[in-house]
Structure 1
């Protein structure tokens, strides 16, 4: 496939039909690599990372480089059974691009194709990143020393599709766009027994119920009301029958906040509540809190100001500013190390949210997004 016969809709549909889970994106990586390799651009270099073999980086050497501009697209899918009924629905049972990463990859390829054909002024690094949904692939790549020397961008950009926005609309904001998040994994162990003799047991269900209720006070009593936060327990498992007190309960949930220091404070409060309840109920709390690379997405003020001014002043681009969202994104880790900007791209499916088994983005957003990003980056490199 050459640049001139690049069909972005066909590419998106192929990617959508062949989703792969985090760290298992081998076919996806090969497909992307084969497309880029076929272009044979003299200023294009492809790089793979042996320690994270599903990652793919592409570097373009600029004509008169003043900086290196980075652009990232995530490539993994979710363990969701697709229910869209589309003719190009997922061919893998229980796996779906329900977060729109097929759109992310396709837009990135469209932008990359333009600059592979028309040499950019500045150097560019495109990152097709695995494991955004799980395992924080962005942080893994950073800690592997991927972004050094000529492969280190001076500024990084990325988008996330947004079904609630009109197809092709672009939005971002100064400050924090997405929250940071940490996972809660809790196992409570006690002494099970007959339901008729609770005094002879250590009831893990009562302890679990207390934990669920107590952590709800963290946001209401420890987080500044104007900042906001979330503590949600989304999974509770215990017991098999109503007349037996089980000896183990498992809970899982999420903690989210717009500020990293508040997120760390909330995690500490969860630890303290768990320690206290273990003593009160005489049970064992095995608590694991995992943040990994899911830091708040803090847009760089100077880069974002330039991005907003350009997008808002171009009459051909549908741009708006937006409110922050509790969405989690491991791009937050990258742009806490390298300044950058993340933004929404509307895909016009107001009836379905991200991670919905029926999510069906409007594909017209692809071309619109590609054109807007090319225009902005070309302007940025000429400034």
Structure 2
């Protein structure tokens, strides 16, 4: 493994920074302290800072030895926000904010990019410009979309943009990167079934929306098994059904909510259309009425082939070919997808291990829970900071050292 020496030297200070971020998590669009810390560090290292894109976003600009005269530029992105959940770890850097937790490793993503920023500012072994994009509100807020709408790529024009996420369960020292769809679209639906309330002992006097809802839930799965092609991935998950207030009352209405995930817009269009048809016609068949609402949140995250191949070559030079794995697509979603719709790039996974790193914490405090994403026992593996930062540095230096890509 070819790690940059200065990043290893700074590993302890960057670990302390990461743990400080972990102890002070902030939710989407409220990353004020986090953004202040990021901006202060970048300024300390002589990096110019722009703030306010996407409300709390921070962009650092590092010009190379040519002062950026070449006009070449690459974007590196890290997310900053935490999740609205309670942490169950009790180690020294556990969350000090009740109901808020860095359970997805965005504290580590921020630390890795800060470590790379410090090294790039010290050395500037490249021509062109590196834009360091610290993004808010990945967890459901669409911070990437908001930064883009605020002019991210107009103010900071990049040839390509790259992102990275830690991935528990993979052995530390490995990465996974693949072209094409790697994360799914994220979409929500809400269906309100309007019936007619009555006494539960006299159901013939009303129109019960509950059996209508049951029919719908079952019928939605036929979209997956009978409407879309078997080789196309798609998920419909009904996660909430709400109806009624008393055991002896047939309710007036029933509400169904859930999520839809796909890797393509074609499958998404099919699922949305068929869900609407099933909801409206099923309700009508029972004499009820359905109000159908479908919201598209994040598009699929689709890696560009040339940029992914480039990233894999950079990774192979750092950790070896055998540690650059195939990226198994996941039905989780990621708003870096918006950036990949605007610029070519690659979003890859860096292995976070199985959670054994928590055993080294003084006094323990991690309980026995799994170290998985969005789990109250999760914690980012600090051993990744110099490794991830090495990738960021070598990626930027190598990208800006090659001829300008045709796509730029």
**What's the TM-score, normalizing by structure 2?**
0.86
Q: How does 1:257-268 map to 2 (within 5 A)?
A: 257-268=262-273
Which of residues 221, 224, 239 is equivalent to 1:219?
224
Judge conservation of contact 2:25–2:101 (CA < 8 Å) in 1: yes
My pick for the range that moved more, 368-377 or 175-184, is 368-377
1:379 deviation in Å? 2.0
Structure-1 residue corresponding to 2:31: 25
Structure 1 residues 89 and 314, CA gap change in structure 2 (3 angstroms): closer
Structure 1 residues 168 and 282, CA gap change in structure 2 (3 angstroms): farther
1:315 deviation in Å? 4.5
Q: Gaps (5+ residues) in structure 1?
A: none
Which of residues 79, 83, 87 is equivalent to 2:84?
79
Structure-2 residue corresponding to 1:117: 122
Q: Gaps (5+ residues) in structure 2?
A: 1-6, 356-369, 403-408
Judge conservation of contact 1:184–1:289 (CA < 8 Å) in 2: yes
Which of residues 322, 325, 332 is equivalent to 2:330?
325
- Residues 35-93 of structure 1: CA distance to partner in whole angstroms, max 9, x if unpaired? 22222x2xx3211226x321111122233435210011111111111112222111111
1:373 deviation in Å? 2.7
Q: How does 1:1-383 map to 2 (within 5 A)?
A: 7-39=13-45, 41=46, 44-49=47-52, 52-64=54-66, 65=70, 67-119=72-124, 120-149=126-155, 151-292=156-297, 294-315=298-319, 318-349=323-354, 351-383=370-402
- Residues 193-252 of structure 1: CA distance to partner in whole angstroms, max 9, x if unpaired? 221111222222112212211111111122221221111111222223332222232222
Aligned equivalents of 2:82, 2:287: Cα separation in 1: 41
Judge conservation of contact 2:23–2:96 (CA < 8 Å) in 1: yes
Aligned equivalents of 2:289, 2:25: Cα separation in 1: 40
1:324 deviation in Å? 1.2
Judge conservation of contact 1:181–1:263 (CA < 8 Å) in 2: no
1:341 deviation in Å? 0.3
Aligned equivalents of 1:251, 1:100: Cα separation in 2: 32
1:313 deviation in Å? 4.4
My pick for the range that moved more, 242-251 or 15-24, is 242-251
Secondary structure at the counterpart of residue 273 of structure 2: helix
Aligned equivalents of 1:153, 1:311: Cα separation in 2: 21
Aligned equivalents of 2:36, 2:319: Cα separation in 1: 38
1:353 deviation in Å? 2.4
Aligned equivalents of 2:32, 2:230: Cα separation in 1: 44
Secondary structure at the counterpart of residue 273 of structure 1: helix
Aligned equivalents of 1:160, 1:5: Cα separation in 2: 21
Judge conservation of contact 2:195–2:289 (CA < 8 Å) in 1: yes
Aligned equivalents of 1:103, 1:209: Cα separation in 2: 43
**What's the TM-score, normalizing by structure 1?**
0.92
1:5 deviation in Å? 6.5
Aligned equivalents of 1:347, 1:334: Cα separation in 2: 24
Judge conservation of contact 1:349–1:359 (CA < 8 Å) in 2: no
Aligned equivalents of 2:341, 2:10: Cα separation in 1: 38
Secondary structure at the counterpart of residue 326 of structure 1: coil
Structure 1 residues 92 and 189, CA gap change in structure 2 (3 angstroms): farther
1:312 deviation in Å? 2.7
Aligned equivalents of 2:290, 2:350: Cα separation in 1: 42
Aligned residue pair count: 375
1:144 deviation in Å? 2.4
Judge conservation of contact 2:224–2:235 (CA < 8 Å) in 1: yes
1:116 deviation in Å? 1.7
Judge conservation of contact 1:168–1:366 (CA < 8 Å) in 2: no
